Amino acid sequence: MKASVGSSWDVDSFLRVGMQSLLDLFDDSCEGTMAVDDQGRIAWINDKYVAFLGLKGPDDALGKPVEEVIPNSRMREVVQNGKPILLDIMMIRDQPLVVMRIPMKDETGKIIGALGFALYDRLQRLKPLVSKFAELQWALANTKKELAQLRHTKYSISSFIGVSAVSLELKHRARRAAQLDTTVLLLGETGSGKELLAHGIHAASGRAGKPFVGINIAAVPESLLEAEFFGVAPGAYTGADRKGRDGKFKIADGGTLFLDEVGDMPLQVQAKLLRVLQEQEIEPLGSNTIIKVDVRVIAATSHDLKQLVADGKFRSDLYYRLNVLPIVLPPLRERLGDLDALCEHLLEQIATRTGMPQRELTPSARAFLASYGWPGNVRELRNALEQAGMLTDSITLSAEDFATILPMDSSASPQNGVAADGDSRAAIRPLGETVAEVEKKAIQAALESTGGNKALTARLLGISRATLYQKITDFKLVSD
């Protein structure tokens, strides 16, 4: 039964007229129209297309494989898979054409050919769309470039400031580690420069052109750590990204993965990390697919991993896997010979970042800083220098500028900071006395470290030998 449409049209007639009108419209408005059979041979081509292609007549095209006439044609693709290509841009005779290709089917649904329409004269109408596409492509490429730059190292091994014997030996070991392409374990207190050295090792290695990816394990919630490491498959759980997300191992493929504070890793994740290190393959959450990766691991910790293993908080097999090439970073108090160079470097950085004049240290300030224990290492030193610079307008920083910033040793106060009668003010002494005591301790420590060599001691403290001799006399220090 045929349903009527209007007063004199049935559905079949209506569709035939509609299709013919559509084809006539395409034929009139297109630069060219053609059809191919189920073998990809040209079965029909209109005169405009013949002229545009530079042919003498339709007979030069009919019966020929479409690629002989249009080398980059995709008409055969439409015939083979039965899927239309509704909007495409193709170059023919050095001119861009907007083309549309649709499959032709018989009553049974069998593919019998395909129709193609070349909309060359409509390209200008698509200019806003093409421009927007080009803009998005540029933005994507620019974002990828910026991300690639962020994934590369910020420091080299020479960025580790130090000229003392212990620092020179450390940098020698780091350069050797860079060439071996094996797992490295950096051991050192907080603020001693572990991340900087990891950057430097990567930059000096054969992987320097590949990504450097860091993750601070202590800063990532335990429930998210596996996803951060191994990635998430599309729709792995409620709220997961439909496109999935790559983990740090996948992002670092070919390069280096820096695992900071590895001693804080939960035991469950430790077992999975061990497998990755052994097999060099990962399995994203919610996926059954195994992905091969090529990643060099540099781990760092401020904890005693041996003690954590003994306490059952760190897997022994993972410890041995990470501890292939251990490098111990000395605390600042064990490389005071680098203090002057570090202060100069940090003060210059602070001045550049803040826009303030670069400060200079007086001999009393150098002595004060050399006497301090630096539990926070270089990070604490930077903080102290920046604070002292913020609290004074003077171009020079003296011991007095640091006395209110850095906590004094409890032994500096005979009553441990609290008077017998409960009046804490009784423990406060004149600033000159406090500074003098700090100077005395600094000179004493320097003399001990140099074995009594006064020339070297004066150089270490940044004072003249005459001043050193005078201080030794004033403080009644015994020196052989």
Percent of the chain, pLDDT > 90? 44
Nearest CA-CA partner of 190 in 218, 225, 164, 221: 218
Q: How far is Cα 232 from Cα 226, in angstroms, rounded to an integer?
A: 9
Nearest CA-CA partner of 203 in 171, 235, 178: 178
The mean pLDDT value for 360-384 works out to 91
Q: What is the pLDDT of residue 423?
A: 42
Burial of 343 (0-12, 13-18, 19+ CB in 10 A): buried
pTM above 0.95, yes or no: no
pLDDT in tens, 59-100: 999 999 999 999 889 999 999 999 999 878 787 777 777 888
pLDDT in tens, 31-62: 788 999 999 999 999 888 898 888 999 999 99
Residue 195 vs residue 408, higher pLDDT: 195
Confidence grade of residue 241 (pLDDT, cut at 50, 70, 90): low
Q: What is the pLDDT of residue 417?
A: 36
**Cα separations in angstroms, 222 against 39, 248, 264, 268, 308:** 60, 15, 10, 10, 18
Q: What is the pLDDT of residue 147?
A: 59
The mean pLDDT value for 268-285 works out to 90
**Cα separations in angstroms, 383 against 219, 368, 443:** 21, 15, 24
Q: How far is Cα 254 from Cα 46, in angstroms, rounded to an integer?
A: 54
Identify the top-confidence range among 94-98, 184-188, 372-376.
Answer: 184-188
**Cα separations in angstroms, 240 against 233, 244, 250, 286:** 8, 7, 18, 10
Per mean pLDDT, which range of 123-127, 191-195, 218-222 is the poorest? 123-127
Q: What is the pLDDT of residue 242?
A: 63
Strand order in the sheet with 111-118: 42-45, 32-37, 111-118, 95-105, 85-92
